[in-house]
Structures are given as structure tokens and as C-alpha cells.
Structure 1
Amino acid sequence: MNKILLFFMSLLISGLMCCGTVSAQAGPGKISGTITDSTAGKPLDFITLNLLDASKTVVKVDYTKADGTFLFSGLKAGGYQLVIVGVGYRNRQVDVTLTDSSGSNLGTITLTPSVTGLKEVTVSAARPVVKQEVDRITYDMQADPESKVYSVLDMMRKVPYLALDADENIQLKGNTDFKILINGKPSSMMERNYKEVLRSMPASSIERIEVITTPPAKYDAEGLAGIINIITYRKIDNGYNGSVNASERFRVGGPGLGGTLSAKFGKLGMTATAGGSQYRVPATLNTVQRSTFGAEASDIAQHGFAKSDSRSGYLSYEVSYEFDTLNLLSAQVNINGSTSSGLTYQTSQLYSRGELLKRYRLDNVNAGSGKGADAAINFQRTSKADKNRLLTLSYRYFGFTNKQDNDLRITDQLNYDVPDYRQVNDQRFAEQTVQVDYVYPIRKLSIEAGLKAIMRLNKSNFGYETALENGGYEVDPAMTNRFRNTQNVFGAYNTYQYNLVSWGFKAGLRIEQTIVDADFFSTDSKVRQNYFNLIPSVSVNRKLKNNSSLNLGYTQRIQRPGIWQLNPFVDRSNPNFERTGNPNLRPAFVNDVQLNYSLNKKGSINFGAGVNTFRDLIFGVAVYNPTTGITRTSYTNSGRARLLMLMTNINYPLTKKWNVSVNVRAAHGRVHGTVNNVPVTNQGIMHQSSVSMGYRFEKEWRLNANVQLNGRNINLQGINNAYTSYSVSLSKDIVKDKLSISAAANNPFTRYRQYKRITNGPDFSQLDYRRDYFRSFNFSLNYKFGKLKDAIKKNKRSIRNDDVQNGN
């Protein structure tokens, strides 16, 4: 009621002021600034601005733009008072003095949300967890108490449009092709192996997660599903603040430690984020059953166990220096690394018409290691005439290495004369990026343009060695090679954004030229590719009554193959089932149309519908070779697909202490492709859904319960089975907003999860079965410290390389 009354009062005051506006104030002076929310730090649009002269007479009235900015021009020298009125915010007054022919940039002005003095009402005014914007949807991690007990990867299940599959790979709208950014910028932490880092990153160190479902033209065209932007928590003022999180997870998992530290001293600001964890997977059962058809029909049965142990760590550091109000320099450095070890053994038996033909036991001792690093520097120049007119120059270097070794020994052989062998795959990636961005606002129109050059180098050195009778090993030249792939992408974009009172429009076009050059040194063969792409994007937002909105978006996206798909290394860790890449892959394309409705009142409700059409889709295709008896999986561009989607996210407070959230996605997919020169079609309904309930007790105790339903997943050659998971967590603030403890039980009454994948080909059928440990327990301790005053300034534009598929 108070907000409604305040709304009508602001309209009445604005109307009276408009009627009393005098036109005598004419001159060269200007007053400008930006209005933001003091809690979230986000710009506020449609805030009423009343400019009064020294006699308290209204001179001008205006409203802030979509980016929170305002500008009063044509003012005479003298003293003024700016009265700021916003629905749901406390009024604020700012005194301004203009000298002859001068302008005054007030910088960032924060508004404080209005609350009553009653404790119960203050507590019930909780921050909304989910917010819909023009081209993205945002999940506020700090508003969810479960962020204190889970990792960022675990919390992804609750974010709209996101889900985790059976192997904890993130899916965005059911697709694993997307890009992850940190604070709007790429990071080696995410590009080498995002699961390792997100497992070790405490969710309490994250402010919010943005799911950009219709990326505008300023973003690189790669990522069929869109972009996930992780905003690290930093409410940074003069002084310092930070947080530390320690956790333990068992039986699957291990200890973890992470934290952040931010500081600002005058014009110098810096932020550091670091963490590390161990992830143990106890011995799990896995089996493979394959039946082939035709004249040489056979059946193979494999049975085994596997266990693994990995350790990972990361460190991120950002620093910025504000020379003056117009010039800002910032830089960032990210490093990460990991090691892993594992042991697998399996027995294999081959039958034909009930007769045992071959048998062996395989022991695989494997080890992996990797590291990544990137560094970037950005310079931002702001125009004197308009603080939103920006020129940004950026440079970034990024590189990583991944190495995998397998030592395989064969025993208990029957009609299987294959010696012990070793294989190694050493992958290296390096990238340099140069970028120029320019933003030019004209009243309600904002124009953005930019140029970008990305120079990439992929390398792979893979080998195969067979054991000799004297105990040594000999290199097999036929299975050893060195691969080098260069990929240069040159792009330019132009974007226009126009805002009215109830309408918002974004439209843009991106052009990209890609040049690919691949060499196989050992076989003296080459691959050359050159392709040009025009990538359009359009977004329309309509503000409706009752704080609701309707968004319509269209974009075209590209999936360029990464080193994991291009690398021709053949993984023979299972002699009967090989995996390899394809250096001849071309990019895939998707046309994406989405319609979203958002309502934010007492709670938040978001509905979405979308249509995706794919061409040249990159599939992993399994083909059986009857001569060798081997099934080899590789990648091809043979796919076409159509996906119809419905998405719902509801976050609603049932009472002052009881909150419920629902996240649902349902889709019907139809996919076409070619398997061993035979046309194949598969279709069906897929769905993921999660329900979470939280209750706040007295004395800062919180209880949360979650249920996730993951439906079957359909691919070109088969399906994966559905499964259900559930968890309950309890947390308590020992020292309010400072120290908290949390505990969680995941699937406490289900020890194992059954994972099944069915793969069909023209001449074979295969069932992969795995029994994983499902039950686990988490404990976490979270501590926040420090107190700050002024926000650190960041470059509004910097390098964003969104154009290469994540490796999973």
C-alpha cells in the first residue's frame, strides 16, 4: 500500500512540477549523472528527476533512461536542487552549483529502498531471487540462503534455463554448447575445464548469475544456447572486505576452501578470488553390452570398476586505476591448475551364437594434469560531453595445456593377442585478442560499434607405444602424430538500442570472417577452411501493468568446433570402443526465437517459449566396423534438428518465513542425421524440473529442501534414462551477516544412481550402464569481513571471447 501511495504521489508531484516549469532558464550549463540501487548496484530507469532553482521553483522535470542516466541541459549559472523520486525508494535531494558555461557531472547517485521501521516488515522485504531483463534472466545468489552450503556448480540447478545432467555437465536450455564468462569477461578458469573450478568455487562468493538467452551483436556469435555470466560478489568501498568459505563433502567429493578479498584505496581498486578443492569418486560399477547384426553377428559383455581422485585450484586478480573522471585503466590475471589420477579394470568377453570367442582383462592406470592462464589490460576513455560516450581499447592473452596418460596392461587372455600399451595425449591452446569498442548515446538512442581480432593456435602431440618382451616400449608410427590448427576470427559489430517509456528495442548485426589452417606433421596432410558469416540479433521489451513485461528476441548463433572435437587423437583406453576427433569439422548454426513473460510483485513469475532450428549440427556418431570388431565414435556435421521449448520459473513467498521456487523446462526435439551413410531420425519429449522450499525459523535458522527431476535425454542414436535427486540443507547465522554454518544431505536414502545410455546403429545396438554413488553429505563454514564505502570503477567494455565451445 505504501508503494502504491508513493507511486501516485510521485506522479502528482511530477505533474504539478511540469505545469510549473519555467522556460526562462536557458544557458550552456548541464547537469548529468546516473541513478543506481544502493543494494544491488544496478541502474534504475524511469526515476523521476525534479530540478529546482534557488527560489525552490521547478525548472525542469525528466526521467532516467534504461541505463539509469539523466541529463539536464540549457541551464544558466547558479544554484540548483535536484529532487529524486522513485517508487519503492526513499526521496533524495542533491544540491548543485553551476558556474558560468560549466557543466556538472554528479557521477553515481544511489537510492535506498524504502522500508518501514517495524522489524517484521523489514525482514519480509526480501530481495527478489529472479529478475527478468531485456535479453537475460538473473538469479541473485546472495538472496538464496543455500548459497552458503553449496558450490556454484550445485547451485546451477536452481537457475532458470539451467540444469545439470547425470555427469554434472551444465545444460543451457537443454544444450551443452554455451559460453561461461566471469564478470562479463572470458577466463581461463572456465575455458579449460569449468566443472573443476565451479565445484571448488563457493556459491557464497558469487553475487548473481546472468543467463543471456538472446546475446546482442556485441557478443561473439559462438554458443548455440547462449551465455552464462557469473558475477562475483563485490560490494566495494574505500577500505576492504572479503569472505572465506571452508567445506567438506563425502563420500563423493572432498574438502574445499575458497574466498574473495576486495580493497579500494583512493583511485586504486583491486579484487582477488582464490580457491581449491579435492574431488574423490569411489569405485563405481560400469558395464557395456553390445549386439551386432548380420552374417557376423556377435555379442560383447564388459564388466568393471573405476575410481578417481582429482585436485584443482584457481586464482583470479583484478586491479583498476582511475586517473581522473575520464580515464580508467584496468587489468586482470587468472591462473588455474589441476591433477587427476584414476584406476579402471574391466573384463571383456566376446560371444557369437553362444560360443565364447575372445576374453581378456584390462587394467588402466591413468593420470592427468593441466594448467591455464590469461592476462588482459583495458583502457577506457569517457567523453567530457557525455559520460556514457565511451571508447575502450583491450588486449588479452590466454593459454592452457591438458595432458592425459594411460598405462594399460592386459591379462587373462583367450584368443586375444594384443600386448600391453601406453597412450598419451598432450593438448595445448593459445589465443591473442585485440578489441576496440565505442559507445555513442544520442538522447534515447544508444549506438555501439566495435572491431575484434582473435588469433588462436591449437596443438596436439599424441602417441601410442606397445610393450616389448624385454620390458621396454616401442612407438607405433601409425598411431602417433602431431596436429597443429590455427583459427583466426575477424569480426565487427554495430548495435542500436532505443528506449521509450514502455518500450525497449535492441537490434544489431555482427559480421565474422574465420580462417582455419590445420596441419598433420607426421602424415604431411593439411586442412584449409575459410567462411564468412552475418549474424543478426533483435530484442523487443514491452513494459506492462503491475510490474510485468514481455520480451521477444531473435538471434542466430554459431558453434565453432573446439580442440576437443578437432583433435584426431584416437582414445584406445577401451580397445573395443574408440573415440576420436575430426579436423574437417565445419561450424554449426542455430536460429533462435524466444518469447518471455515476466511478473514481479510479491514474488517473481517467468514464462518462456522458444523455437530453435539447427543446421550442420555437430554430432558424436558411433559406427561399428565388422572387420575389426571396434565401435568408433567421432564427430560429424551431418545433423539437422528442431526444438520446441516451454520454460517456467516461479519464486514466491507463501508466508513471511516460507518461500517456494519452481524451475521447469519441457521440450520436444526432432533430430536428423547420417550414421554410416544411413539416414537416422530420432524424436521425443525431454524435461528437467526442480522444486525448492525454504523456511526461516527464529534465531537465524534456515531449512531448505529440494527435488530435481531429470527426464530422459534424446540424441541422434538413442536416449539416456531419467533420474530423480533430492536434498535437504540447514544453515544458521552465528554472527548476523558475518559468520554462518551450514550442512546438507544429498539423496540420503538413495545410495546409488543408475545411469543408462542406449546407442543404436544400422548394424548394432549398445547399452552403457554405470552405477554411481549418489548419497553425499556437505558441511560448510562461511565468514565475511570488512567494511567499505565507495564502489570500485570497472571498464564498461572489455574483451569477451564467446565463440568457442566449452569442453565437457
Structure 2
Amino acid sequence: MKKTITYMAICLLTTFLCYSDGFAQQILLTQKIYGTVKDSLTHETLGLITIKLKTEKDSLLKTTISKTDGRFSFENIEVLKYHLVLISIGYEAKVVVINLTDDKTTQDIGVIYLSKRSQNLNEVVVKSDRPIIKQKADRIVYDLQADPESKVNNVLGMIHKIPYLSVDANNTVLMKGNSSFKVLINGKPSGMLTNNLTEVLRSMPASSVLRIEVITIPPAKYDAEGMAGIINIITDRKINDGYKGTLNANEGFPPGQDIGGSFTAQQGKFGINSYGGLSSYNSPQANYSNKRVTTDTDATVLNQAGHNQSDSKNGYIGVELSYQIDTLNLLSGNINVNGNRYNGSSTQTSILTNSAGLLQGYDLDNTNNGNRSGIDAAINYQLGFRSMKNTLLTFSYEYSYFRSNAYNDEVINDPFNFTTPDYMQTDKEQSNEHTIQVDYTHPIGKVNMETGVKAILRNSNSNSGYNSIDSASNLFESVPAFGNVFRYIQDVFGIYNSYQFSLKKWNFSAGLRAEETYVDASFVSTGTNTIQNYFNVVPSIAINKSFDDNSSLSFGFAQRIRRPSIYRLNPFVNRSDPDFISSGNPNLQPVVMNNLQLGYSSGGGKKVSVFLGADETFFNNLELPVTNVNPVSQVTTTTYQNAGKGGGAGLNFNVNYSPAKVYNLSINGDIMQYFIKGTGDIATDKMDMLAGHVSLSNSFKFNEGWSSNLNFDFYSKQPRSIQVTANAFATSSLSVNKELIKNKLFLSAAVNNPFTKFRNSITETTGDDFIQTNDNQVYFRSFRCSINYNFGRLKSDIKKNRKGINNDDVSNGGEL
């Protein structure tokens, strides 16, 4: 397989050289243009006006400042069509179209007037009106800035309004009902999103996000990982020389406090974009119960009851920097740091009985705590070519590091026929990875070609320990049989080639990606290891047809891969509950999924806009949690196996209705039909289930800056795996908002689920010879107040590389 990758790399290099024959072309005849800027009312000359020279495709070439007498000029420019962009505080931004000809060496633009009204010279006033939802060939784009609720909410609170996305009862973000997807921020991966997605989105102000892209048919340039697709969060980076920022503070009763913000600045060729947040999440004491009934010849009943509580603290910060060396060279980089600390406790009573009476019993006091932290840093260099417009060559490197520590302390009281002594468990994990990537973009006529190569080198390890108290010395001693040292190496080598072109109202995108994966898993404690080597060729195609009424129709096909994460591979056995233990499986294989998609969007600019998306998915070798009961020890064990085949069909829908300026109704939801059959240890299990959810968002706008939001969400019974289902639930919320300073300062107060203090989260697990029910009480009612503040003023777009590393090749986790 490595020979195949080498051969494809040679083909890529050959292609690059073939398209590079124009690098030495001569530069066209250069000219000089000049003009004067004046006030449209007083006709006074205007100095210190920022003037940008851009190509017809909006690429910045040069920037200058008008002199005190209003004059400006640009020299040594080619004979092309340009846009002059004039920006100044207190004046309307203006774009002037300039057509140069080769019969003049200098050209006088004349006087350009800045005012609140349109003038001559083909000037264009910049506008921002656009629909909330836009459909492209391979993705749905949700414009948060066009949604008034984004001014007073966090990003997590906006997710339920976005097509294909939802949030379950545990605040887990789902895409097409699936938690296996990748999340990027500004097109780049970040450990803070991989490891703390819910916490980061909860403390991230929605006002700091420009849009969210839900990429359901990822192009070949993206890694093949993520069964459902990719979520790309684009922060508000449209800035001008100066600074801009957002601040958000949120207090919940419960769960706790959130503080978040963003800051963007640019001065000349330097730009910075940053975001960060802190959060404290408290889960008050609540009751829970577990009941397991075995149905074999010696039937037993296990009953557990108790209460638990927990709290966590989270923090993250990300910084992106850019420096435009000149019009052809751009250097950028980013660094993200995140951390999490948690602790919890629980008390439970366990009783095991059969037809003869009590078999076993004990009380268990559990104390647990842990921490996680990570850092990732990347640098990108983008090279343009003067003789070949829109041709780009990008070199990227990224380093990522993550570690976690977990501790469990178990105290056994009042045991009956239960001999396990008090014990402690520890699990320490860490991973680091290096990524090198080269991307090349080149237009061939009306076709845009993209190609590139990538290497990801990962090294992970875990060290788990088990210490049991010695009855004689009353000291904890290590039990090597229950510990393990695990080392995991995964190298992924990829190459891709894709093409995009437009034909009138048709848009086409097609590509092919090849990935080879090498895995070496070593068990130091036992002296054994597992080696895997697999090769995948992943196609993708997306077609979009737009119509005169702004509606569009799209079709797509993509093949995706889910590689098992270290959480599912780690053989560490979690014994925090002696009757229910769980572990990973280092022999898991990747899952290949095929997805067909059809979408329709009615477009924007109407009272009613509609989006419909239909999907069909099919797969083999799906990795699933498999649960069994040991008839001898009466212990329930859960691990992961490649034990499922089948698929699903779904319909996603989104409707926005605005009958008047003071009211808007948004309906977002999905209906999914799952059909999965078990293999191996669960060959007799199958899932044939219809599930769905719907979210209704009502927005009211009143006078003097007052507004209100009334939301309802309903989730039907949901599958967690082929053996596990979760009960249905409904949520409601009401918020009242006040705009204190126009477009700057907002206050909001909200109540969630005012009529229900607790919710019972019930999951049911079934097997050939047992039924298990877990009933967890969740604090449901909460109150929230928040303040959002926007500040700053800017005048030019920050620069970013059009290419960069996006490691979307590791599963986000989840049951299905």
C-alpha cells in the first residue's frame, strides 16, 4: 500500500509541475492610476482615507492613504479590471470599479465623493442582507449574524435551530442524530473542541460567530473521518484596521457561571483573532437507580439506588495571527490551549437476589476527580503567483498534545457475601501528534483544481493502576493483574485531488481521497502487541442546481471513515461500580460508511423559507458497545466490538416563517429510520426503530429594544446503540431581552423548563438473557441571566490562508 501512496505522490508532483509552466510568464504592461477624494456635500477634500486596490475576485493587492489634499495614486499595476475600496469613519464605504486599457500609461480616476448616497463611477454600496440559511452543493450555511437571537445567546443555545444539528438531554451535540462528526474552528482543528465541545460552545458568545457550516458531503480536501460529516464554526473575522471584540457573562441557577469573549484587531499587514472562555458547571445532588433482571435458569435481580453530584471547571483560549508579507506571500499561525478539572461523589446501595432470597449486598461510597488539558499550535505559509491569478501553494505544520488524569476512590461498607476490599483506580493518558500538509490550488479555465498530500503521526499511551487495601496492614497495595500500560502509534498518510466548476446555474464538485493507516498497539504489561495496516480510497461528489427564484436543489454522495478513538481502544477497565465494569478494545477496526443525500432550499427573501434534506446511509462492521452479564460473577461488562451492519434513512427539515417584522417562527427537526443487525456476540440483536426530534423557536420583537424568545423541543425515544435506548423528553424555555445600547449592550433573563424541577433520564439495555434499566434524575429547571457587550471599530478584512491543516480523521465519539 505504501507503494500506492508513493505512486500517487509522484503523480501529484507531475501535475504540479505541468501547471507550473506559467510561473515564468512576463508581467503585463504596468500603469499608474490616481484620483481625489472629496465630501459629497461640502466638496472639501478628504485626507487619511483608507483606499484599497483589489482584484475583480476581491484579492487585496495594495493599500494607500489619501493625502491632506485628498489625492491618492497606485503605480506599477497591470492592465486588468480592479475594485477601489474606500473606507473612512463617518462615511459610507464605497467600491469603485476600474477598467484599465493598454492605450494609456496613466489614468485619472477623477473625483470620488464619499457620502450616504450612491454616486457615479460604477460605485457599489456594501450590503449585508442575506438569508439565515443558505444551501451549497456540499453543505448548509447558517448565518448567525442574521439571527437576532445570536445577540443574547451562546453558541450551544443556537445549535437546535440549525439544520442537521440537535442537542440531547445531556447537552451532547448531535449531527443527523449521530455524535460521530468532526468540529473545526475557522477551518482548523482544535483540541479544545474535540475534548470539551459542550463546555466551549456554552461559554462562546453567539455574537462572536459569523456563521456555522454543516458540511454533510465533505470534499476530498478534508480527511475522511467523521461518519455524519463536519461542523465548521466561522468566527466573526470581517474586520477593519483597528479592533473589535465581544464579551459575554452568564449566570445560571444551576448550573453555574460562563464567561466568554473574542477580540480581533488589525494594523496594516498584521492581524490577530482571539477567543476564550471560562465556565463552571455544577450538577446538584440527585437520585439514581439501576435494575438488572437476568432471565437464565438461575434468574437474579440486581437493584442499586443512591445519589450523586458533580462539578467541573473549564477554560480555553485560542489565538490566530497573520502577517501579509506582500500581495503574494501570507504567513499565519494559531495556538489553542484548553483545560478541564472535575470532581464528584456518589453513594449507593446494591442488593442482588434470586428466588431463594438475598445473594449479595453492600454499600459503596465513591469519590472521583480528574483533569484534562491540551495545546495545539500550527503555522501556515501561503504562496501566490503574479502570473497565475488564484493559484496558491500552501505549506502547513501542526503540533497537538493532550493529557488526562482520572482517579476513583471506592469505600465498601456493610458487605454481605461481598469480599472485594476498598480500592483505588487511576488512569493516566497522553497523546501527541505531528501533521505536515501541502496543498495546491490552480484554475484550469473554468475548472478549479485542488490537490494535496498529508501525513499525521500520532503517539498515545495510557497507564492504569489498581490499588486494593490490605486487611493486615490497612495500607493500599498495587494489584498488577488489574493494571495495564498501553502504547498506541497511528500514522495516517493521505493524498487527494478534487475539481469544482460552474455551468450557468449548475455547480459541480467531485474528488477522490486515498488514505493509508498504520497502527501499532503495544501492551507493555503483557508483552503483546497488535499491528494493523489498511488502505481506503474515498470518493465524494456534490451537485447543486439553482433556480431563478433563489431556490436550489442539491445531490451528493460521500464515503466516510470512522477510526476508533483512544477512548474506545484503551483496555483500561473502569471498576468504579463493581457490578458494572467497562473497557475499550484495542483490536477495533475502522468503519466505512456510504451516504447519499438530496436537498432542497426555497431560498431567502420571502416570508417563508424551507429547507428539506433526505439521506440514506449504509455500512458494515460498525463499532458498537456490547454488553453482557457473566452468569458466574453476576457482573455486567461493556466493551466495544465491530458488531453491526445496516444503515438508516432520514429526513431533515427547517422552516422559517416571518409574517411580520415583530415575529418569526423557526421549526427545525429530523425523522430517522434505523435498521441495524448485530453480528458476533450480539448476532441475535437488531434495531428497527423510528426516531426524531423537532424544535420550535418563536421570536418576538417589541419597541424600545425589547424582545423575547419562546422555545419548545421534543425528542422521541432515541437509540444509543443496538442494545440501548433512551426515553423521550421535552424541553421549554422563555427569555426576555433588552438592547440597552444599539448593537452594543444586551441584557437577557431566561427560565428553562419552569414546570419540571427534575427529569428522569431512563436508558434500557437488553441482551439475550438480561434486561437492565438505568434511571438517573437530572436537575431540569434552571434560571439564567446574561450580559453581552460588543465594542470596537475596524476598516479592513483580516487575512487568512485559504488552505491549512484540518485533522478531521479521528472519531468524535458517541454511541452510534
TM tier, shorter chain?
Answer: 0.7 to 0.9
Offset of residue 355 of structure 1? 0.8
1:332 lines up with 2:334 in the alignment: yes
What is the distance in 2 between the residues matched to 1:370 and 1:617? 29
What is the distance in 2 between the residues matched to 1:103 and 1:482? 74
Within-5 A mapping of 1:178-327? 178-251=181-254, 253-327=255-329
SS at 2:196 equivalent = helix
Q: Residues 304-359 of structure 1, C-alpha deviation per residue, up to 9 Å, x if partnerless?
A: 11100100101111110000000000010100101001011111000101611111
Structure 1: segments with no counterpart, 5+ residues = 1-26, 32-62, 71-75, 107-111, 116-121
CA contact (8 A) 2:247 2:262 kept: yes
1:553 lines up with 2:556 in the alignment: yes
Match of 2:415 in 1: 413
Q: Residues 189-242 of structure 1, C-alpha deviation per residue, up to 9 Å, x if partnerless?
A: 112222222222222222211100100110000000000011112331101111
What is the distance in 2 between the residues matched to 1:747 and 1:156? 18
SS at 2:623 equivalent = strand
Residue 147 and residue 793 in structure 1: after superposition, are their counterparts in 2 closer, same or farther (change >3 A)?
same
Structure 2: segments with no counterpart, 5+ residues = 1-26, 32-54, 62-76, 86-91, 110-114, 119-124
Residue 78 and residue 718 in structure 1: after superposition, are their counterparts in 2 closer, same or farther (change >3 A)?
closer
Aligned equivalent of 2:378, options 376, 394, 411: 376
1:473 lines up with 2:476 in the alignment: yes
Q: Residues 131-163 of structure 1, C-alpha deviation per residue, up to 9 Å, x if partnerless?
A: 212211111222223324433222211111011
What is the distance in 2 between the residues matched to 1:388 and 1:80? 15
Match of 1:804 in 2: 810
What is the distance in 2 between the residues matched to 1:102 and 1:383? 24
Residue 103 and residue 420 in structure 1: after superposition, are their counterparts in 2 closer, same or farther (change >3 A)?
farther
What is the distance in 1 between the residues matched to 2:370 and 2:208? 28
Offset of residue 429 of structure 1? 1.3
Indicate the percent of aligned positions where both proteins have the same amino acid.
Answer: 44
Q: TM-score, normalised by structure 1?
A: 0.86
Match of 2:596 in 1: 593
What is the distance in 1 between the residues matched to 2:489 and 2:227? 22
Q: Residues 14-40 of structure 1, C-alpha deviation per residue, up to 9 Å, x if partnerless?
A: xxxxxxxxxxxxx95699xxxxxxxxx
Residue 420 and residue 133 in structure 1: after superposition, are their counterparts in 2 closer, same or farther (change >3 A)?
same
Aligned equivalent of 1:135, options 128, 134, 138: 138
CA contact (8 A) 2:144 2:207 kept: yes
CA contact (8 A) 1:90 1:114 kept: no
Match of 1:653 in 2: 658
What is the distance in 2 between the residues matched to 1:319 and 1:640? 45
What is the distance in 1 between the residues matched to 2:772 and 2:534? 37
Within-5 A mapping of 1:19-58? none
Aligned equivalent of 1:627, options 623, 632, 640: 632
Q: Residues 509-546 of structure 1, C-alpha deviation per residue, up to 9 Å, x if partnerless?
A: 00000000000001001011000000000001111230
What is the distance in 2 between the residues matched to 1:125 and 1:420? 64
Within-5 A mapping of 1:336-355? 336-353=338-355, 355=357
What is the distance in 2 between the residues matched to 1:134 and 1:700? 38
Aligned equivalent of 1:537, options 522, 535, 540: 540
Offset of residue 806 of structure 1? 1.5
Offset of residue 684 of structure 1? 1.1
Match of 1:50 in 2: none
CA contact (8 A) 1:149 1:743 kept: no
Q: TM-score, normalised by structure 2?
A: 0.85
Offset of residue 128 of structure 1? 2.4
Aligned equivalent of 2:176, options 135, 159, 173: 173
1:690 lines up with 2:695 in the alignment: yes
Offset of residue 564 of structure 1? 0.5
Aligned equivalent of 2:499, options 492, 496, 504: 496
Offset of residue 763 of structure 1? 1.0
Within-5 A mapping of 1:123-162? 127-162=130-165
SS at 1:204 equivalent = helix
| Counterpart AA for 2:565 | G
CA contact (8 A) 1:145 1:702 kept: no
Match of 2:565 in 1: 562
| Counterpart AA for 1:754 | N
Residue 293 and residue 657 in structure 1: after superposition, are their counterparts in 2 closer, same or farther (change >3 A)?
same
Match of 1:719 in 2: 725
Offset of residue 606 of structure 1? 0.7
Offset of residue 114 of structure 1? 11
Offset of residue 92 of structure 1? 5.3
Aligned equivalent of 2:487, options 484, 487, 506: 484
Offset of residue 77 of structure 1? 8.7
Offset of residue 243 of structure 1? 1.0
Name the Cα RMSD after superposition: 2.7
SS at 1:565 equivalent = helix
CA contact (8 A) 2:643 2:682 kept: no
Match of 1:510 in 2: 513
1:641 lines up with 2:643 in the alignment: no
| Counterpart AA for 1:649 | N
What is the distance in 2 between the residues matched to 1:142 and 1:249? 25
CA contact (8 A) 2:645 2:679 kept: no
What is the distance in 2 between the residues matched to 1:418 and 1:254? 38
Aligned equivalent of 1:736, options 742, 765, 778: 742
> After the TM superposition, which of the residue ranges 345-354 and 127-136 deviates more from structure 2?
127-136
> After the TM superposition, which of the residue ranges 138-147 and 542-551 deviates more from structure 2?
138-147
What is the distance in 1 between the residues matched to 2:301 and 2:581? 17
SS at 2:326 equivalent = coil
Match of 2:98 in 1: 95
Match of 1:781 in 2: 787
SS at 2:685 equivalent = strand
Match of 2:772 in 1: 766
Offset of residue 101 of structure 1? 11
What is the distance in 1 between the residues matched to 2:462 and 2:209? 35
| Counterpart AA for 1:256 | D
SS at 2:492 equivalent = strand
Residue 79 and residue 585 in structure 1: after superposition, are their counterparts in 2 closer, same or farther (change >3 A)?
closer
CA contact (8 A) 1:149 1:744 kept: no
Match of 1:391 in 2: 393
CA contact (8 A) 2:708 2:735 kept: yes
What is the distance in 2 between the residues matched to 1:114 and 1:773? 56
Q: Residues 44-88 of structure 1, C-alpha deviation per residue, up to 9 Å, x if partnerless?
A: xxxxxxxxxxxxxxxxxxx988x9999xxxxx998989799xxxx
CA contact (8 A) 1:621 1:675 kept: no
> After the TM superposition, which of the residue ranges 673-682 and 420-429 deviates more from structure 2?
673-682
Match of 1:702 in 2: 707
What is the distance in 1 between the residues matched to 2:533 and 2:81? 60
What is the distance in 1 between the residues matched to 2:537 and 2:82? 49
Q: Residues 111-144 of structure 1, C-alpha deviation per residue, up to 9 Å, x if partnerless?
A: x9999xxxxxx9x996422221221111122222
Offset of residue 168 of structure 1? 1.4
| Counterpart AA for 1:663 | N
Offset of residue 436 of structure 1? 0.1
CA contact (8 A) 1:671 1:681 kept: yes
1:757 lines up with 2:763 in the alignment: yes
Residue 90 and residue 371 in structure 1: after superposition, are their counterparts in 2 closer, same or farther (change >3 A)?
closer
Residue 755 and residue 30 in structure 1: after superposition, are their counterparts in 2 closer, same or farther (change >3 A)?
farther
Offset of residue 479 of structure 1? 0.7
Aligned equivalent of 1:402, options 404, 415, 429: 404
Match of 2:122 in 1: none
> After the TM superposition, which of the residue ranges 640-649 and 532-541 deviates more from structure 2?
640-649
Residue 317 and residue 504 in structure 1: after superposition, are their counterparts in 2 closer, same or farther (change >3 A)?
same
| Counterpart AA for 1:609 | A
